[in-house]
């Protein structure tokens, strides 16, 4: 969405990556991205951008505007009374950090009645059920994002976001529907076979409540920005809520199991309104790569000819022909202040990990522990699998085959719903080999 380029080119291939500093792992960082994101391009074009909670946005980049990274809620203490320091580098400009920290909501600050929209039977439930605490945590995280989103959109020094005023583009990410879905869609009606009657009664309302809650938040956002603002609402995938739900109930304390992608429905949503958008138009064939070039066109900026996506001209009321869209060869090749981190901080974590591994083999640094090595091996296999998906979906079978060998997956596993039968896949593997 943010680059208009496939993952092999922007470089973020997983939620986590090797940490060159300690030989372990870390959340994927903004310094690992290999290309300019929309907020960098718009900074270079002299426009002001706000970015909130986007994946791989930490540490916050020094753009023209305001960035609150996806790690702004890290380090949450057990109790709401304890200090909750903001992670270093989570906010740009740093002058807004104190206000950001104050606007986060700790789950301990929620009152029981504030959970009734999701848990209407709360009074009869066991207070020791860890799923209640999980609902409170996820709800508080979502409210924190919304508090900051509304402050950024309103701007002005009275909100502590003077740098966010008079923005040209704001990019906000709410992950609540997805994260709640991974944990609680299994309790949605109709009852799945593995769900007990009691759990079904207690948790069946969570997902409907989450959708209603987010819909109300969207209403607030639309009210703040007004009819003069173009709004694009989208998701990167959908979520199974019917007979296609997998029977894999995740453990509350197992984040990896909770994020099982088998819950995901391949098709997401895209809705657009406001100046520059045609009314009542149905868009066919749009994908995530089209968002960045479409946003650039709406903001009167040229698109990068090296972007993999296209401008959704059928959605625009200007009736631009593809030949009339302004282009530059690549925004990465254009010089100018783009709000990027210094070059010495922008590194490939996998390349750095390999360099550290070589130093460890030579005895210059300590080798990672056996547990770290096992986790890193799993990370490398999963990253190869994700890269294989990119190659397979962009018809680069030979490259996909190499990643298949690294990850140990079958080539046809690289697509959720492979369009070819097993025999055809075997022939494709043969050609690739």
Instruction: Please write the tens of the pLDDT for every residue from 150-199.
Output: 999 987 555 556 555 689 999 999 999 999 999 999 999 999 999 999 99
- Bridge partners for 172 per DSSP: 52
Residue 318 has what pLDDT? Answer: 77
- Residue of 174, 394, 173, 171 lying closest to 292 (CA atoms): 171
Q: DSSP of 255-321, one letter per residue? A: HHHHT-GGGEES---EEEESTTB-TTPPP-S--GGGHHHHHHHHTT-PEETT-SS---GGGBTT---
Rounded to the nearest 5°, which phi and psi values hold at 49? -130, 145
Task: Point out the residues of the chain with pLDDT beneath 50.
Answer: 359, 364-365, 416-426, 428-429, 432-433
Q: Angle at which helices 370-393 and 349-361 pack, to 10 degrees? A: 140
* Domain ranges within the chain, ordered by starting residue: 36-275, 348-432
Measured at the CA of 139, the angle between CA 136 and CA 145, to 5 degrees, comes to 140
Residue 169 sits at φ, ψ, to 5 deg, of -150, 135
How confident is the model at residue 425, as a pLDDT? 42
pLDDT (0 to 100) of residue 321: 66
Burial class for 196, CB neighbours closer than 10 Å (0-12, 13-18, 19+): exposed
Q: What is the pLDDT of residue 372?
A: 75
DSSP state at residue 277 = B
75 contact partners, CB below 8 Å, separation of at least 6: 84, 85, 87
- ∠ Cα 44 70 230 (to 5°): 55
**Residue 411: how many CB atoms within 10 A of its CB?**
22
Per-residue pLDDT at 158: 54
């Amino acid at each position: 969405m943010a680059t208009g380029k496939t993952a092999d080119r922007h470089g973020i291939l997983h939620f986590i990556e090797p940490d060159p500093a300690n030989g372990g792992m870390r959340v994927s960082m903004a310094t690992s991205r290999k290309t300019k994101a929309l907020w960098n391009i718009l900074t270079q074009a002299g426009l002001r951008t706000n970015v909130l909670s986007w994946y791989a946005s930490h540490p916050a980049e020094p753009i023209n505007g305001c960035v609150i990274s996806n790690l702004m809620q890290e380090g949450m203490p057990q109790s709401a009374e304890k200090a909750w320091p903001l992670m270093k580098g989570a906010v740009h400009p740093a002058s807004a950090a104190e206000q950001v920290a104050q606007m986060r909501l700790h789950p301990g600050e929620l009152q029981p009645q504030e959970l009734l929209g999701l848990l209407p039977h709360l009074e009869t439930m066991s207070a020791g059920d860890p799923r209640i605490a999980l609902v409170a945590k996820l709800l508080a995280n979502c409210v924190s994002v919304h508090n900051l989103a509304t402050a950024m959109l309103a701007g002005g020094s009275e909100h502590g976001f003077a740098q966010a005023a008079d923005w040209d583009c704001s990019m906000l990410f709410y992950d609540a529907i997805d994260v709640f879905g991974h944990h609680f869609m299994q309790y949605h009606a109709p009852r799945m076979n593995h769900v007990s009657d009691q759990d079904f009664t207690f948790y069946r309302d969570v997902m409907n409540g989450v959708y209603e809650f987010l819909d109300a938040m969207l209403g607030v956002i639309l009210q703040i920005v007004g009819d003069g603002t173009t709004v694009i609402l989208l998701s990167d995938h959908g979520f199974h809520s019917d007979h296609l739900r997998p029977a894999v109930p995740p453990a509350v304390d197992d984040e990896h199991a909770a994020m099982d992608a088998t819950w995901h429905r391949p098709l997401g949503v895209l809705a657009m309104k406001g100046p520059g958008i045609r009314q009542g138009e149905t868009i066919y064939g749009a994908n995530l790569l089209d968002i960045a070039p479409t946003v650039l066109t709406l903001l009167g900026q040229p698109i990068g000819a090296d972007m993999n996506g296209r401008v959704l001209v059928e959605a625009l009321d200007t009736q631009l022909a593809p030949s009339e869209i302004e282009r530059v060869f690549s925004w990465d090749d254009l010089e100018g202040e783009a709000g990027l981190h210094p070059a010495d901080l922008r590194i490939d974590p996998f390349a750095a990990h390999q360099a550290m591994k070589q130093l460890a083999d030579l005895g210059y640094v300590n080798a990672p522990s056996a547990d770290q090595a096992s986790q890193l091996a799993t990370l490398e296999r999963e990253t190869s699998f994700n890269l294989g998906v990119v190659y397979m979906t962009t018809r680069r079978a030979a490259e996909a085959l190499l990643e298949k060998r690294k990850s140990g997956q079958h080539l046809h596993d690289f697509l959720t719903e492979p369009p070819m039968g097993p025999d055809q896949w075997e022939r494709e593997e043969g050609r690739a080999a």
